[in-house]
Structure 1
């Protein structure tokens, strides 16, 4: 059996207006949180270049991949950190959530450019039970436009099967997939349904028949044998904001979902290190 622990964490961009919750007062707590829980994969949303540098410095056991959403690689990113003692990165890239995903662009009527970063990884210890490769995808949907969120979900439904099967031999088949991130929508919303293969408009090509679905994703929070923590993932740094589980982990059918947790770790000031709570999913193959 191969175990995989995947953490997703919107760490909030470095906003000078956050005052006593500014990034320089939170970065050590974010690093300690990740080191304590020791995920195999840590997927972050919103960090700017200097924040990505801070995360790399505080997480030396991890290999980072990903770029910013700006034309020059700057701006907010969706980096993926891979625990290097267990996994090695085979391939990685970033695409934009837009009608022109292979170049820097703003999709539909989104307020900002939005991206998805992916990494194809394999075990470094030669574990005979491990699949040849795993695909991890990290994304952040637009916070303003519902149309952009639906478009982004449909684009991922189209692209993920291609990425999962890329480079695989006929005998190996497609790589198991873990898609995580801040989707800026709650369970049962249109984008969430689209990603699970149930497009409410029914005209995007997303298959309704599970037997014909090239990639069957499940919501790890719903599928988990054990669920822990609050049913929201938003904070105002001091309190939880109820009913806003907008950070998600969706996994393909090859995975058994052992546990899903929304982590409520606070820093040494008694505050949450971000305006989002991290989510941690424990998977096995």
Structure 2
């Protein structure tokens, strides 16, 4: 079994109104946090182009994929960073959470364009004939519109099976590639979007959701199924304190993956503050 550690981290966009928590005060701490925990894959939400450049500079041993959500590739992104010494990026792309997912667009009544970036990664030291592979999908749901969050969850339920098939060895008849979906979903466990993604309840997008048949794929909440759980039951901060009861950052996995551990990391910077208004989550998987 191959072990892989996947980190998801909303690093907060560079907001000039953050004053002493402005990006230039936080970027080094975020870089050190990621380097210390050494995830195999780090999925970020909210970084603007200059922030993505800062992350690449501080995480030079990682290969970054992904683009911004605007038509010109600028704006906030959901980049995925992959440890080059252990994993190789085989394929990657981005689509929009909207009625027209293949082109830059704003979906439903969301405030901004929302995207999902995916990367298929392969263990660098494995025989290509029997690779250890993983499909990582990184997303960020709208923070205002409940409808946009529900429809984004439905869209992912509809698109993920085809994405898995397209990236599986040998196509439809071959070995299915395991998938982990991570990101800031702006909703808590048990909410409609969370239940839709798990295929649990009347909001599911189609018959058979939640089962690994032709209709869809099964997803499990890594925090709920992990053999070892560590850290608080929230992932939101105000930079100085935890905001309780707000676990809105998630990792959802397909059944092929053994969820060995799930952690919500509470590292503070050298000022005693959290480096973002979100806590990073780290999932340790076996595949």
- Aligned to 2:139, the other structure's residue is in SS state strand
**What CA RMSD, in Å, does the superposition of the two structures yield over aligned residues?**
1.6
Q: Which residue of 1 aligns with 2:206?
A: 205
Work out the CA distance in 2 between the residues paired with 1:118 and 1:101.
13
C-alpha displacement of 1:119:
0.3
Work out the CA distance in 2 between the residues paired with 1:220 and 1:211.
17
Q: Which residue of 1 aligns with 2:175?
A: 173
Q: Which residue of 1 aligns with 2:51?
A: 51
C-alpha contact (below 8 Å) 1:132/1:172 kept by paired residues: no
Write the mapping of 1:261-272 to structure 2, written as runs, cut at 5 A: 261-272=263-274
C-alpha contact (below 8 Å) 2:239/2:273 kept by paired residues: yes
Unaligned runs of 5+ in 2: none
Task: Provide TM-score, normalisation by structure 1.
Answer: 0.96
Once the two structures are superposed, residues 229-253 of structure 1 have per-residue CA deviations (whole angstroms, 9 ceiling, x without a partner) of: 0000000000000000000000000
Write the mapping of 1:25-174 to structure 2, written as runs, cut at 5 A: 25-126=25-126, 131-167=131-167, 168-169=169-170, 172-174=174-176
C-alpha contact (below 8 Å) 1:131/1:175 kept by paired residues: no
Work out the CA distance in 2 between the residues paired with 1:91 and 1:48.
23
C-alpha displacement of 1:179:
0.3
C-alpha contact (below 8 Å) 1:12/1:46 kept by paired residues: yes
Write the mapping of 1:181-260 to structure 2, written as runs, cut at 5 A: 181-202=183-204, 204-208=205-209, 210=211, 212=213, 214-260=216-262
Work out the CA distance in 1 between the residues paired with 2:131 and 2:197.
23
C-alpha displacement of 1:110:
0.4
C-alpha contact (below 8 Å) 1:137/1:179 kept by paired residues: yes
- Aligned to 2:144, the other structure's residue is in SS state coil
C-alpha displacement of 1:228:
0.3
- Aligned to 2:112, the other structure's residue is in SS state coil
* Paired residues, number: 284
C-alpha displacement of 1:132:
4.9
C-alpha contact (below 8 Å) 1:198/1:207 kept by paired residues: no
C-alpha displacement of 1:201:
3.3
Work out the CA distance in 2 between the residues paired with 1:5 and 1:130.
20
Work out the CA distance in 1 between the residues paired with 2:81 and 2:41.
6
Once the two structures are superposed, residues 157-205 of structure 1 have per-residue CA deviations (whole angstroms, 9 ceiling, x without a partner) of: 1111111111430563221000000000000000000100124235x31
- Aligned to 1:166, the other structure's residue is in SS state helix
Once the two structures are superposed, residues 41-87 of structure 1 have per-residue CA deviations (whole angstroms, 9 ceiling, x without a partner) of: 00000000000000000000000000000110000000000000111
Unaligned runs of 5+ in 1: none
- Aligned to 1:88, the other structure's residue is in SS state strand
Change (3 A) 1:209 1:231: closer
Task: Provide TM-score, normalisation by structure 2.
Answer: 0.95
Work out the CA distance in 2 between the residues paired with 1:247 and 1:254.
22
C-alpha contact (below 8 Å) 1:15/1:23 kept by paired residues: yes
Change (3 A) 1:93 1:211: closer
